[in-house]
Amino acid sequence: MDRGRKRPEVADQLPADKRACSSSEFRPTTADAVAAVSSSSTSSVPPPSSSEHHDCDMESSSSGRGGGDSAYGSCESDDDLHHHQPRAGCGASRGKFQRIISVLDSEDAGPSAQLASLTELCEALSFCMEDSLGYFPMDNALPLLVKLAGSEGNPDVMLLAIRAITYLCDVMPRAADAIVRHGALSVLCGRLLSIEYLDVAEQSLQALEKISRKQPVPCLQAGTIMAVLGFIDFFSTSVQLVETAVTCLMRITSCFSSSTEILDVLCKHGVISKSLHLIAVDGRTTLSQSAFVGLIGLLANLANTSLVAVRTLFELCVSSSLKRILIASGISHGTTYSYPDGVYSNQVHEVLKLLNHMMPSAARDDENIQLVMAKEMILEEKPMFLHQFSADILPVLIEVVKSGANLCVCYGCLSVMINIIYFSTVDMLQDLVKNSNISSFLAGLMARKDRHVLVSALKIVELLMQKFSCVCSSSFIKEGVVYAIEVLLEHENRLESVGLRLDQQDNQIALRDVPRCLCYVFDPPNTSTSERKACRLGKDAVFSLAKHIKDTYFTGESVNCEIGVSEVLKKLKIMCATLNETVDQSSSNDGCAKTEELSQLLGQVMAEINLGEAISSFEFVESGIVRSLVHYLSNGRYLNKSYSDCMSTSHWLAILKRLQIFTGISLSKACQNWEDMLLTLLVRKLLDALTSFDNFPVIVSQFFKSRSSYSDIPSRHSTLHPCLRVRFVREDGELNLSDYSDVVSIEVSSSFVAIEGFLWPKVGASMSGQLQEQKGKDATTTSTAVSSVRCPEVNVPQEPCPNTQHIPSTNFAQVLINQEQQASLEDTSMKLREMMTESSSDPLSSSEGHAKGSESSFPSNKDATPKLIFSMEGREVDRSLTLYQAILQFQINAEPDLVVGPKFWNEVYKVSYRKASQNTTHWQEACCDSPSLIFQEKAGYPWHKLSFISSIFLAELPCKLDKSNPSYELLFMIKILEGLNRFSSYLLSYERCTSLAEGRIENLDDLKVVVPSIPQAEFISCKLTDKLEQQLQDPLTLATGCMPAWCGQLMMACPFLFSFEARWKYFRFTTFGCKGQLNQIQPANISGSSSVIDRRSASVWSYRKKFKVTRSDILGSAAKMMASHAQSRAVIEVEYEEEVGTGLGPTMEFFTLVSHEFQKAGMGMWRGDKCSFNVSQTSQCSDESAFVVAPFGLFPCPWAAASCASDGRQFSDVIKKFSLLGQLVAKAIRDGRILDIPFCSAFYKVILDQELGIYDIQSFDPELGRTLLEFQALSYRKRFLESASSENFEYSSDLCFRSTAIEDLCLDFTLPGYSDYVLSSATNSEMLNIHNLEEYVSLVVDATIKDGISRQVQAFRLGFNEVFPLKSLQIFTEDELERVLCGEQETWTFSELLDHVKFDHGYTASSPPVINLLETIQEFECNERRAFLQFVTGAPRLPPGGLAALNPKLTIVRKLCSYEVDMDLPSVMTCANYLKLPPYSSKEITRERLLYAITEGQGSFHLS
């Protein structure tokens, strides 16, 4: 078969200017039309060779059209026509058209004359509108065009004739009737069915799509459906062509949605089978999201009306495809459902609509009862239909709801579940629910406040009790279903108030700006509008149904329990009460009393938990176990809230002791797998319990559009975002302030600091005296400054809570960066000079300077004293929130499923104010700024600096989450467990040291601790992760950065609850800005990879700047780059001097080369670099290829104060290099580049601003760390013996170091490994002995991880903060930060390579050269694999997520060789990850030539 041109296989991945465009996007110009004629060809065009590719563009050959035409987009839509100015051709006279028609009608006209006339006609029509078309001879022109379209001969004439028909439909839609009358449909369908020429078939499809809009019935009668289906079947890999065919099919079907006969005919013609093929196989890769969702909607419309469709869907097992769609789509991420008619629905909603329409309704009040009965008959005839359908769908629906789906999706899932349960038999139901804890699921639904959800949940309870009450009754009691029903029914005298509440819910339509009730959301689109206003549920539906279930199934005689409380729950409550009482008695004494009794009680409670599945989530929460555990660990402070003695030594020691005991019990099975540990079980119980609560709602914005509005706060300016309307009211009794009654427009992201700055000068004017006037002027000045430094992010408190880490907002950080740009370099240089010259004699001076330096670039206003206190509805507002967040918090309490719509913006909110008190001292500052002496030991570990331990000390989370939130104590306990999981080895090491000191163990080898840790993935809450993902996709959030307060609060207190991918999105969004941040994070691919980080497109939203570098001076080029662009938002693209390559590949290689430069020996930066301190070894390091040997990762080398004086120049260079390194690391993260620099985990902790202790030394120097721990244990032993001895202490053999006296070790007071670093001993000691051992350990630890590296670390942080705030990375762990910065190194299996590598242009997955290549790559060693990645991508590591996250995908194409194939070398295009592989004859030659290329081909970029 001869085709006009070869169809591109990857049109969706081509650059925008190479892809086909839609009909609403492009219309060819005159030149395009001429080019289309001149380039037409009937011969097949072979695929382009690899040599034809240049840079990153992959063009496909085209005939029959020029580059301007598209596969189905030659014409503009009607809406776009008014954009074009009339041209001479637009007003073509009748004479001009008659002349063209006469040429076409002439028998003497040859093909060239016909082509010229058709080209002129297409040009005239392409820019015309209907009112300017003039007198077009329709009856004369159309027969000729149809004749030419159907002629056999010149394909170019056919193409242009059909194109003219298409243009005519576009310009004059009413012409469709005449086109049909003149027989064009049969010709177009024939061209589509025969597909002799690809271009002609495409144009025919486009013409049919235009005609079907006005003439759907004739199109159907002419066989358009069969033609379209045949077109889909033939072009299975065609992207935009298939989409056009699908769109045409959807429109035709939509016209007959109420005609059962016609829809049955369509189904018999294979519409469903073809559609399911697209959905099941590769719909999401072949179709756009809108077309894919529309295809599901098409099936839903068929299932709603046609019994043939329902039977066919069951026969083809559509449930398995829909199950995969729900799982692959992230289940609940489809939360952008819009209630209004005509608004595009999302994927999950369309799937639920299809499921609801396939199943007969359990409610017998359906209008079309005959159709319902007929569907039921199908299930009765074929019971396996229902069984297969239920087995596929029911478990997934439960997960959809549990994962945090929005109200609409939740209701749709429950509707399907009701129908499934209603029509299922008892045996079938028992088989379905045996692996899913449906009782716990229903108990969680009872916490929802929407009555539609409550009624649906109660219906499921009733159906299950009807089916098999004997099985469900006990489960319902244990999981809290009965308890939840009792809560709904308690206090029958409150029925009236319940009715009022339900009446208020009736008004949710107005509050949400929703035109119809949930009862009608999944109804067919032809439901009358008037019916949608009345809810089908009665006002007392919840109460009536709950009372009916209680009276029927759970009476006192049938259920032996008290208000649904099981015996296990009663037992747990008694145990927890006893534990709480004992804790209170202990804390009232000295904090350490009754230790043994408490340990026994704790063991009993933990043993009860360890029964595993015997305790349900309801019993776990309701018993108070979590509250009791937190109370125990906080030494009785959590429930009593008594902080008077939180500074006492006994309080701190009691907490540490209890942590050790709790850790020992939790890790009681540590010798086994981590899955068997009690700690793992406790984490899972807590996460299950957290899932049952729904206290963190996703706020969906309705009808949001960016539009210009005017705001009074801040700074009186125009904004594209909606504004909140607020009336400020002075509180009653406030006499020192004035009234201010005007309604003020406030920008949605404004903070209360900015509001105070606006309001204070106006309401403080009543205070008399010159001093008050002056204060008012100062306040005005302050307000201006505050207004200019706004924080639009919802998670950025203006007054940070002490001991909490706040993530700076995008705009706030950017404003501060912009303000610093003028003097940043001078300021940084001054601070670096101070670090180079400052004295380190005072042990605390460096650490103080370090703390100041880390904050200098981003000042905080936590010391600012508030002038006003704001309140809403009688409750004081948290000043750390934005006004938008504060309003949301108050409204969410009344309406959890709040939707931000027009009513939200039109409302005038009342905010009260009063004068603030000047006494703002916080007890937390006094408590935590003065730790006990045990934490001031430099040789010890800074326990109080660990976030989870400081939370226990303070008995609260490090955020301002409302403590009345039911999830608060669950979050508190999960945070403690996550901290214990990460630092359990430290706690147990400390316990071993004290045990050796007290003589419980004697061997130093027993100090070693090996504890299995739970993977961090076990702490992830899927529900909260999904909710955060949903919130980040909301239009208002994307436009303004405004999110509910819980997003920032949870990210601050418990970031581990969110997946790494979700936190990465949150980090990019809140740190670098709203616009475009989420677009750069690609969703998980279809193959199931969880990676969402697209490092290669990390900056598609930003503008780019090219920077030339010198390959011979990489480090100098890097310094120049950072000096010019460190604070720039532009993405840097590198170009090497005297090389032609530029773009992604050279840039990735540059960052790799810079990474290697920092690892070279002789720079004095890292431990293990002996060249910097030993002159005799300097010559050995002269080789530029010498690198620092750091098998455990790079860690800063300690520098003493004396080194600064004697060799100040060298140390100043070190400081500058650390500053440059900080800039480069930050820039790499910002621009999405990968570094190849192996920092150790301790240095990542330093980057994250975590305090290091003695236990961290083992991570980079295991021998030194182990020895110091043993020395410390001996010093503890000495101290213990001294305190226990009533007489003068004498030396004991117990104080020997491995049978050797300390004095015999002959150690002096210099830092091990650094003989020039003299330790400053307070006792002027020169040699080590047992008496100064403790001092020696303290000095070594201080020199190694504190004062010795403080100035280097401070320089690194100063450099980093010039790019973006370092604190924004604190939501990641050190391991995750390494993934962010350095990507991943992984081994590849053959199947993984097949899944994530693309083969094109001459190669397929089964091509022998490809198989040889993949086998060769799979067998590569680590160094060879790194070299291969460097050769292909420019970086030796893959981005986070591995091969699946590489974008563009690694593509293998055939390289055409002009000489002997086996002598040629492979070449690459690093910008596209494009490997051109010659077809080598064997695997051995493939390996040889590939290794030669990746070894010798490094170091330059040229055209390939």
Residues annotated as catalytic (active site), given as ranges: 1471
Show the tokens assigned to 630.
């937190």
Is residue 89 packed enough to be buried (19+ CB in 10 Å), middle (13-18) or exposed (0-12)? middle
d(CA 313, CA 272): 7
Per-residue HEC secondary structure of 1305-1333 comes to HCCECEECCEEEEECCCCCCCCECCCCCH
Our separate counts of H helices and E strands in the chain read: 62, 18
Place of tokens 């027969």: 143
End-to-end C-alpha distance for the chain, whole angstroms? 35
d(CA 683, CA 1018): 8
Report the length, in residues, of the chain.
1504
Per-residue HEC secondary structure of 880-895 comes to CCEHHHHHHHHHHHHC
**C-beta of residue 1127 within 8 angstroms of C-beta of residue 1412:** no
1291's CB contacts (< 8 A; 6+ apart) are 1330
d(CA 615, CA 575): 14
Torsion of CA 1127, 1130, 1132, 1135, to 10 degrees: -120
**C-beta of residue 1434 within 8 angstroms of C-beta of residue 1149:** yes
336's CB contacts (< 8 A; 6+ apart) are 346, 700, 1033, 1034
Residue from 856, 753, 759 nearest 796 by CA: 753
1490's CB contacts (< 8 A; 6+ apart) are 1413, 1416, 1428, 1466
Show the tokens assigned to 1381.
């910065």
User: Residue 1209: what residue type?
Assistant: R
Q: Residue 1400's beta-bridge partner residues?
A: 1453
How distant, in Å, are the alpha carbons of 788, 1125, 1366 from that of 1077? 23, 20, 19
d(CA 956, CA 630): 10
Is residue 322 packed enough to be buried (19+ CB in 10 Å), middle (13-18) or exposed (0-12)? buried
* Interhelix angle 1045-1053/883-894, nearest 10 degrees: 100
Q: What's the longest Cα–Cα distance across the chain?
A: 131
How distant, in Å, are the alpha carbons of 810, 1099, 1106, 1129 from that of 1103? 17, 8, 10, 8
CA triple 971-973-974, angle to 5 deg: 65
Strands 723-730 and 908-915 turn out to be parallel
d(CA 753, CA 881): 10
Residue from 18, 120, 17, 898 nearest 449 by CA: 898
Show the tokens assigned to 1487.
């390996």
Q: Respond yes or no on whether the N-terminal peptide bond of residue 802 is cis (omega within 30° of 0).
A: no
Q: What is the DSSP string of 1191-1224?
A: TT-B-BPP--HHHHHHSHHHHHHHHHHHHHHHHH
